[in-house]
Amino acid sequence: MKKLLLTAVFFFLLSSKQYGQDSIEHQIEKIYALALTQGKSYHWLDHLANRIGGRLSGSLNSELSIQWAEEQLKEMGFEDIWLQEVMVPKWVRGNYEYASFETQPGNSIHVDVCALGGSIGTSIFGLEAPVIEVQSFEELEELGRGKIEGKFVFYNKAMPPEFISPLDAYRSTVQQRTQGAYRAAQLGAVGAIVRSLTLTQDDFPHTGNMSYGDLANRNRIPAIAISTNSADLLSSMLKLNPDLVFYLKQNSKNYPEILSHNVIVEMIGSEFPEQIIVFGGHLDSWDLGDGAHDDGAGVVQSMDVLHLFHLLDYKPKRTLRLVLWTNEENGLKGATTYAQEAIEKGENHIFAIESDAGGFSPRGFTFEATDEQFKKLQSWQRFFHPYYADRFVRDGSSPDVVPLRNGTTVLAGLRPDLQRYFEFHHAANDTFDQVNKRELELGAAALASLIYLVDQFGI
List interacting residues with its own copies (CB under 8 A).
32-33, 36-37, 161-162, 164, 166, 199-200, 361, 363, 386-388, 391, 417, 419-420, 423, 436-439, 442
Residues in CB range of 440: below 8 A, 6 or more apart? 41, 42, 45, 297, 300, 301, 359
- DSSP strand pairing (318-325 vs 272-282): parallel
What single-letter DSSP state applies at residue 117? B
- Give the whole-angstrom CA distance, residue 397 versus residue 257: 27
- 110 DSSP β-pair partners: 100
Annotation says 139 is catalytic? no
Nearer to its own copies, 218 or 385 (CB): 385
Minimum Å gap between C-beta 36 and its own copies is 5
Taking each helix axis from N to C terminus, what angle separates 297-311 and 2-38, rounded to the nearest 10 degrees? Answer: 130
* Residue 414: strand, helix, or coil: strand
**Can you spell out the DSSP letters for 437-448?**
HHHHHHHHHHHH
Phi, psi of 386 (to 5 degrees): -60, -15
Nearer to its own copies, 267 or 450 (CB): 450
Residue 135 burial (CB count, 10 A): 14
Nearer to its own copies, 84 or 229 (CB): 229
Phi, psi of 334 (to 5 degrees): -60, -50
Nearer to its own copies, 257 or 417 (CB): 417
Nearer to its own copies, 316 or 416 (CB): 416
Minimum Å gap between C-beta 441 and its own copies is 9
Minimum Å gap between C-beta 184 and its own copies is 29
Q: Strands across the sheet with 107-111, in order?
A: 107-111, 97-104, 245-250, 127-134, 152-155, 191-195, 223-226, 113-115
Whose CA is closest to 292, among 442, 208, 300?
300
Whose CA is closest to 408, among 354, 459, 337, 344?
459
Helix (H) or strand (E) run with residue 378 in it: helix 371-378
Nearer to its own copies, 36 or 109 (CB): 36
Nearer to its own copies, 341 or 417 (CB): 417
Minimum Å gap between C-beta 287 and its own copies is 25
Helix (H) or strand (E) run with residue 238 in it: helix 228-240
Minimum Å gap between C-beta 326 and its own copies is 31
- On the CB side of 255, CA atoms within 13 Å amount to 14
Nearer to its own copies, 80 or 162 (CB): 162
Minimum Å gap between C-beta 164 and its own copies is 6
Helix (H) or strand (E) run with residue 246 in it: strand 245-250
Cα angle, residue 71 at apex, residues 68 and 77 outer, rounded to 5°: 150
Q: Which listed residue (97, 266, 328, 439) is catalytic?
A: 328
Residue 46 burial (CB count, 10 A): 16
- Give the whole-angstrom CA distance, residue 33 versus residue 318: 24
Residues marked active site are found at 328
